Amino acid sequence: MIALAGILIISGWLWALVALKGIEPSIILHWVTEEKVSRITQFVPTEDIPLHLSVIGASGLLMVLVNGWLALLFEERHWFWGKFLAGATLLLGALIFIGFVAIISVN
């Protein structure tokens, strides 16, 4: 499950890099919808797209690695908590993948 979470994050990151390569002049990185009103809260200039997407991907991979290590430690003590943390890590990887897809779809 941990490896699948890492694969989801890496594939989402690569997909976002390829899909957003030719976007001009900037991309929308964050938006908020409150009371039926949407507003954009963060733009990223074209030259900074790889950096910002890499920060999101690297943060996700770091979380997956730490959770994987903790899941192995928990597995030694009690199998349920190790499996539970591995499942939660898979959910985290899926949510980060969905985040990359949302960034692609908005732009």
How high is the pLDDT of residue 91? 95
Query: What phi and psi, each to the nearest 5 degrees, are found at residue 78?
Result: -155, 125
Residues of the chain predicted below pLDDT 50: none
How high is the pLDDT of residue 28? 73
Whole-Å CA distances, 95 to 2, 23, 48, 88, 101 = 14, 24, 23, 10, 10
How high is the pLDDT of residue 39? 67
How high is the pLDDT of residue 1? 82
